[in-house]
Amino acid sequence: MKKSNVRSLQVDRLLLDKVIEKIRDELGLSFADKAADVERALINYFNEYRIDALHTKIEGLLQEDLSRNFDLLDHLTISETYFFRNHKLFAVLEKEILPAIIRRKAHSQQPLAIWSAGCSSGEEAYSVAMLIDQLQKNHPKPIPARILATDINQHILIKAREGLYSNWSFRNMPVKYMKEYFTPQNGRYFQIAPHIKKMVHFEQHNLKKGPFPVNENWKNFDIIICRNVLIYFDRETMLNTLQRFHDLLDEDGYFISGPAEIPSLHFKKFKGQLINSVILYRKHIPPVIKEEHVKTARKPQKAALKVIHPHFEHKAKTKEKIKTDAAPAPEEANNNFEELTLIKNLADLGNLEEARKLTQNYLLRNNLDSHAHYLLGTIYLEMGKTAEAEKSFQKALYLKPDHIMAHFHLANLYTFNGRIKDSRMHFTNVLNLIRSFDPQQEIPGSEGMSAFQFKQMVEKILKTSRLAS
């Protein structure tokens, strides 16, 4: 949504609601709680500041087909994009997803089919095309690749088909791609290579109205990419669109959404899969080899260590029974892990309030999940709500007394609040628990720190004058 410095003119609310409803019905875009944003967009679109004249023009707008009004679309949505946006995603596509699909297709020589839905000015679709070209450069029998790129905005598709870009589109472009696939034009622009342009077919398409498929030539996609589009949709349109994507995706295909979008929380037919810190969605998750069948170099577990905490000394047998009775089935456990991973991803992006609500909703269904209580504690910490964070970490430790990071965060909280004795106790618990880890073994939830590194850090903290005995 484009912003304006123009003061709100207080467009008649009933008239504004009619526009919002029409936008929802014809475009699927939801602005139910963003009336002020729509008002600003209308003011900028009409370039009209007189309230009576603005009302007249809005009345006329209500008679139009908004899906054909591309100038208004420019004001309602953000078309910001660039090549290889989200480098982690494209690294996973390059190293994991595309090579696996190409290997699978090598026998049948069936074309690789990809759909970039909501493609904007084409940088995303062309980025995928360049990856495929690189991966098949030395292949004796390259797999034909077909990339469909669609957007509702015909204006932006004109730029996409032209394939001419300014420096702004190359903010994350690897140098090798810039040199190989682009030719400078007039000192300010760069033209994409003709053979890459031919790989991508651009079509104007409305995800709200369809049709699905776009035409009969586009089915059974290996990958469907729809990033930062679903966030604009109302719930009904989002669910309908996800169902259409699911129908058109190959049984072994991948659906990719934006990092702030969590399709599987709303549409259970898609199952989230975490690959190198990137969430992708599939119709089916391949079976995972059970941990007990995997050989590791991990040391044998030492005897249980003493964890100092007054709340953990009682009702041990009762608590063990509760944990056993509450253990979820394998499929449910997988869904729970997926849901919490997606919520953490949302929190990492700074959407703390939404992450908090989703975690609390999850805990209504899974109140004995220690990791969920811990996650909620970290979200509260980021929000600056230390009292709530403390309670969440305490709940996590009641359910799982050996949760190292919960002890660590509580220790830091107590240090901050001047509760030195409690802080020292939890730091000591951390050191006791770390003893069961190999020195180079990563501490879960520590952002990649090894047990040795974590131990050194805690020991250094304990030696400070404030915490020294």
pLDDT in tens, 257-270: 986 666 766 688 88
- Is 6 a member of any domain? no
pLDDT reported for residue 311? 39
pLDDT reported for residue 35? 85
Name the token pair of 441: 């073994």
- Is 246 a member of any domain? yes
Q: How confident is the model at residue 187 (pLDDT cuts 50, 70, 90)?
A: confident
Could you tell me if 54 and 134 lie in one domain? no
Rounded-to-integer distance, Cα 165 and Cα 161, Å: 11
Amino acid, res. 157: L
Is residue 404 within 8 Å of 433, Cβ to Cβ? yes
- Burial class of residue 98, CB neighbours in 10 A (0-12, 13-18, 19+): buried
Name the token pair of 34: 């963003």
Rounded-to-integer distance, Cα 386 and Cα 217, Å: 56
pLDDT reported for residue 264? 64
pLDDT (average), residues 17-32: 87
The residue range of the domain holding 265 is 87-282
Could you tell me if 61 and 92 lie in one domain? no
Could you tell me if 266 and 322 lie in one domain? no
The number of domains in the chain is 3
**DSSP at 184:** E
pLDDT reported for residue 288? 47
Q: Where are the alpha helices (DSSP H) in 284-419?
A: 316-326, 330-348, 352-365, 370-383, 386-399, 404-416
Could you tell me if 439 and 317 lie in one domain? yes
Locate the DSSP E strands across 118-159: 145-151
pLDDT in tens, 95-143: 999 999 999 998 887 899 999 999 999 999 999 999 999 999 878 889 9
**Distances, alpha carbon 393 to alpha carbons 167, 257, 348, 356, 461, in Å:** 47, 31, 18, 14, 20
pLDDT reported for residue 293? 33
- Is 106 a member of any domain? yes
The reply to whether the predicted model has a pTM over 0.85 is no
Could you tell me if 116 and 252 lie in one domain? yes
Could you tell me if 328 and 273 lie in one domain? no
Could you tell me if 277 and 367 lie in one domain? no
Which of 82, 198, 94, 206 shows the shortest CA–CA distance to 146?
198
Could you tell me if 207 and 329 lie in one domain? no
End-to-end alpha carbon distance in the chain: 56
For the sheet with 182-185, list strands across it.
Answer: 164-166, 189-192, 182-185
Look up the CATH number of the domain holding residue 363: 1.25.40.10
- Is 174 a member of any domain? yes
Name the token pair of 370: 């220690």
Residue after which a domain boundary falls, among 282, 315, 346: 282
- Is 298 a member of any domain? yes
Could you tell me if 323 and 450 lie in one domain? yes
What backbone torsions phi and psi does residue 139 show, to the nearest 5 degrees? -80, 130
Lowest-confidence region among 119-128, 149-158, 273-282: 273-282
What backbone torsions phi and psi does residue 148 show, to the nearest 5 degrees? -95, 130
Annotate 239-288 with DSSP letters as a single string: HHHHHHHHHHEEEEEEEEE-TT--HHHH-TTSEEEEETTEEEEESSPPPP
Is residue 272 within 8 Å of 259, Cβ to Cβ? no
**DSSP at 403:** -
**Distances, alpha carbon 273 to alpha carbons 110, 330, 341, in Å:** 25, 15, 10
pLDDT (average), residues 31-49: 84
Could you tell me if 165 and 23 lie in one domain? no
**DSSP at 77:** S
Could you tell me if 238 and 315 lie in one domain? no
Look up the CATH number of the domain holding residue 271: 3.40.50.150
Q: Which residues of 21-46 are buried (b: 16+ CB within 10 A; e: fewer)?
A: ebbbebbbbbbeeebebbbbbbbbbb
- Is 468 a member of any domain? no
Residue after which a domain boundary falls, among 282, 302, 324: 282
Residue after which a domain boundary falls, among 238, 259, 282: 282
Rounded-to-integer distance, Cα 74 and Cα 54, Å: 19
pLDDT in tens, 222-253: 999 999 888 788 888 889 999 999 999 999 99
- Is 73 a member of any domain? no
- Is 38 a member of any domain? yes
pLDDT (average), residues 373-402: 92
Could you tell me if 257 and 161 lie in one domain? yes
